[in-house]
Structure 1
Amino acid sequence: MAWEFEAELIEWRGPAPFVFAPLPVELFAEVKEAARGLMYWGQIPVIATIGGTEFDTAMWPKDGRFLLPIKVAVQRAERIDVGDVVIARVRLPDERD
């Protein structure tokens, strides 16, 4: 199963600044249920696509939704940054289109 969503990229400052695409709140339960058995420490491994760039990462929960981290290489390849609105697609790693 894959999920496609539109998100405004946000920054969250932890030990270093990271850019994230927050999944819509209404997808939280569905994604969590589909990822049963794949979750570790609350994180879900996914294969994500933004524009023409596909990448592996892990989403984690925050404030009742999942955050999709956007790697610097993806930000550069797609010329995106905090405040930009993107269409993102995520799927679980054991699933094919």
Structure 2
Amino acid sequence: MVVVFDAELWIWDARRADSWTFVSLPAEASEEIRDLAGGSRRGFGSLRVRATVGGSTWVTSIFPGSGGGTYVLPIKRPVRKAEALDVGDIETVTVELIDI
């Protein structure tokens, strides 16, 4: 399954020395992913994906958002730097489920 969507980068402050930047997958796509994945989940309910933002592609995981809503995708620092992205920017994201 491949999902292409536009999303705003947002920050989750872990109340530690670091913080994490994410995008949220659309609600409809998150529901389809949950149905497709069934019980094949890893730690924290994560699912392996290949993500693409701009010219950057990497393998990572998506995680269920708080309250079991939409899945969230972490956008790591090297990708944000390579693509000149900051919190609040809206970017086209491609997420491909792998290992299902």
Amino acid at match of 1:61: P
Q: 1:94: Cα distance to partner? A: 4.3
2:3 is equivalent to residue 6 of structure 1: no
Amino acid at match of 2:10: I
Aligned pair partner of 1:68 in 61, 65, 73: 73
Q: 2-side partners of 1:36 and 1:55: how far apart?
A: 24
2:98 is equivalent to residue 90 of structure 1: no
Q: 1:35: Cα distance to partner? A: 2.7
Shift in alpha-carbon separation, 1:44–1:6, aligned structure 2, 3 A = same
* Alignment partner, residue 45 of structure 1: 48
Q: 1:81: Cα distance to partner? A: 1.1
Aligned residues with identical type, % of pairs: 38
Query: Residue 81 of structure 1 aligns to a residue in which SS?
Result: coil
* Alignment partner, residue 80 of structure 1: 85
Structure 1 residue runs of 4+, over 3 Å off? none
**Which segment drifts farther, 58-67 or 34-43?**
34-43
Task: Give TM-score scaled by structure 2 length.
Answer: 0.86
**Which segment drifts farther, 29-38 or 7-16?**
29-38
Structure 2, unaligned stretches of length 5 or more? none
* Alignment partner, residue 59 of structure 2: 56
Structure 1, unaligned stretches of length 5 or more? none
Q: 2-side partners of 1:38 and 1:70: how far apart?
A: 23
* Alignment partner, residue 24 of structure 1: 26
